[in-house]
Structure formats: structure tokens, C-alpha cells
Amino acid sequence: MELDFEKENGLIPAIVQDATNGEILMLGFMNREALAKTQQTGFVTFFSRSRKKLWTKGETSGQKLLLRELRVDCDLDAVLVRAELEGGAVCHEGYRSCFFRRLDRDGNATVVDERVISPEEIYGKGAKQ
């Protein structure tokens, strides 16, 4: 079985889900190399579209994603990464999940989760918030 990396310029969406409770933690993108590295090392690795390079979640922050299972969708053009979060937050803003805002009908976004760690604790002074 071959995944279809050609639809989106060599990348496929990678939805990251907590393997224990099913919570959606983040969305990233993988190329063939990121997927292979994830499978080989057991640590979830993505391709950064802005930096144009591979990055393994937690290499800077220590907030690692340990691979538990990979699933593919019916079109073979997206993966579901079931992972265990090592650390308290997957989001660079210090929330457990990147999906910590609810989009209201009026278009406003409301923060609905608690920040579990400050970005400064993860990344040091001058951290992007």
C-alpha cells in the first residue's frame, strides 16, 4: 500500500490524537521522510512548511509525542497518529491541545481550555505566544 503524497506537494495531513483518551492534540504535515522517521524512531516527526525541514515534536520543548499507532484514511492521503504525550502540552502556546479555542457563531474565538505551562517555561524568554 502506497500513501498518496502527490495531492499536496509531497505532504499529507497528520492528525495527532491522544492514544489514551481520544483527544485531538494537533495537526501537522508529513512528507515521506517524516513518516519514515516517525516509524523508525517511535517519536512523531513532521515536515515544517514554514522552515522547509523536518522537526521531531519535543526536540526544543521537551513535549514529545510517542507513537502508539498509525492509521491511514480511505483515500490514502492523510494519517491519524495515535500518540502518547510526554509532557503536559503539545501546543507552543502552552495548552495541552492546539485546539484550545472554540469558534463562536459570530466569528469570535473563545479560549475554552486552561494553559498548562507557560511558553517561557518551554522555550525560554522571548517565546512566541
For 15-42, write each residue's pLDDT tens digit.
999 999 999 999 999 999 999 999 999 9
Over 50: is that where the pLDDT of 129 sits?
no
**Of 95, 87, 86, 83, nearest to 42 (Cα)?**
83
> pLDDT tier at 111 (50, 70, 90 boundaries)?
very high
- Assigned CATH class of 12-122: alpha beta
Q: Is 37 helix (H, G, I), strand (E, B) or coil?
A: helix
Give the pLDDT of residue 125. 61
Which residue would you say has higher pLDDT here, 23 or 129? 23
Q: How many CB atoms sit inside 10 A of residue 78's CB? A: 20
Over 50: is that where the pLDDT of 3 sits?
yes
Give the pLDDT of residue 76. 96
User: What are the C-alpha distances in Å from 110 to residues 11, 119, 124, 129?
Assistant: 30, 19, 26, 16
- Is the pTM here over 0.95, yes or no? no
